[in-house]
Amino acid sequence: MRNIKSLVCFALVILVGGILAACGGDSAKNTKGDKDTVEIQIAHDSGTDHPANKALAEFKKNVEDKSDGKIKVKVFPAAQLGTVTDTMEQTRRGDIQMSFGASTLFSQSIPEFAIWDSFYLFDDAEHAHRVLDGEAGKKLMESLEAKKLTGLGFMEIGFRNFSNNKRPIEKMEDVKGLKIRGYSPIQIKGWESLGVSLTNLAWPEVFTSLQQNLIDGQESATTSFYEMKFYEAQKYWSLTQHVYTDFLWYANKEFMDSLSDENRQLIEEEAKAAIDSERAMIAENEVETLEKLKEAGINVNEVPLEERRKMGEVMNAAVKKDIIDKTGQELYDFVMEQVEAERK
């Protein structure tokens, strides 16, 4: 009887061991090169009509088609899964695989990205692309690894420009004495160095403040200026292009490292294609929106490059120490060298 019980116990051990081995085999499909179907969930807070979301739709189609359906992509736009901070944390944990957001919004947790708070770094969008797609962009993306993230590239929001009711901004002296909205210590310190007066205001309060002449102007991206209908309370839109804002597209590092070489290459190639497409859409939108502003009666003017560089020298001298305190001297110097090297 004892022998029979021993045999039964032994058989049960073998059976349980086989089940565990089978389960382990299923988990192993998640390891590099073995998973039959790859699922990518991408969440962000931009609207469904934003070029970034349209570019992700292209990314989804191309990746799914070129992988013969072995990679599935699902996009959650318009803050369905939370704020930029929320989706970054979800990506870091591996709850979702990808997200994106303005890199300067991450500077609290990844201080290296505070470098982009500097003023007048780029002469135009192409200059920005060369820097972001080059060694400076790669160097900054290395800082993501400590957060268990991997950078895929930089999409675009665009340049911030300057609106007001007093006069067009054509030279550095034209901003002196104007009152505008302030929203961050770096931004406030930079504009104060040119003699601008700033008032802390929440974004939803700006339109009313412009209407009531509590402030003379504000600074924002062209699309934001139009969508918020600030042109109804402003006369001049000057293309100061003082700050360039990017969308940092990133992924969970463990997820990317688990991919086969073939799948990783496909995803990275299609991400680059989507970034190029998004940038082209942003550029087209900028031209169209400027025409709409002119039709609405807004005086739109360009600011000469030499004047922009003068303004940048003064503003960056005022904020340089604050930015270096966040980024470190070595990274700051490296990025600035790359910015200068890519000027044409």
What is the secondary structure of 279-341 as a DSSP string?
A: HHHHHHHHHHHHHHHHHTT-EEEE--HHHHHHHHHHHHHHHHHHHHHHH-HHHHHHHHHHHHH
Give the C-alpha separation, 124 to 132, whole Å: 13
Within a domain: 29: no
Residue 69 exposure: Cα atoms within 13 Å on the Cβ side:
0
Residue 94 lies in a domain: yes
Question: Residue 13 falls within a domain, yes or no?
Answer: no
In terms of residue numbers, what domain contains 317? 37-341
Domain-embedded: residue 3: no
Within a domain: residue 26?
A: no
Alpha-carbon distance of 49 to 285, in angstroms, equals 12
pLDDT by residue, tens only, the chain of 344 residues:
444 444 434 444 333 334 333 333 333 334 454 457 999 999 999 999 999 999 999 999 999 999 999 999 999 999 999 999 999 999 999 999 999 999 988 998 999 999 999 999 999 999 999 999 999 999 999 999 999 999 999 999 999 999 999 999 999 999 999 999 999 999 999 999 999 999 999 999 999 999 999 999 999 999 999 999 999 999 999 999 999 999 999 999 999 999 999 999 999 999 999 999 999 999 999 999 999 999 999 999 999 999 999 999 999 999 999 999 999 999 999 999 999 999 98
pLDDT at residue 11, rounded to an integer: 42
Rounded to 10 deg, the angle between the 261-295 and 125-132 helix axes is 160
CATH number (domain holding residue 296): 3.40.190.170
Q: Is the pTM higher than 0.85?
A: yes
Residue 25 lies in a domain: no
Q: Which two tokens stand for residue 292?
A: 């709409």
Question: Which residue has 């803050």 as its token pair?
Answer: 79
In a domain, 10, yes or no: no
C-beta separation of 272 from 118 below 8 A = no
Give the Cα separation of 338 and 118 in Å (integer).
14
Dist. CA 341–CA 332, nearest whole Å: 14
Q: What is the pLDDT of residue 14?
A: 39
Task: Report the number of distinct structural domains present in the chain.
Answer: 1
pLDDT at 46: 94
**Three-state DSSP state, 230:** helix
Q: What is the pLDDT of residue 19?
A: 35
Q: Map tokens 């402030």 to a residue.
A: 215
Do 245 and 157 touch, CB atoms closer than 8 A?
Answer: yes
Query: Quick one: tokens of 293?
Result: 């502003």
Residue 16 lies in a domain: no
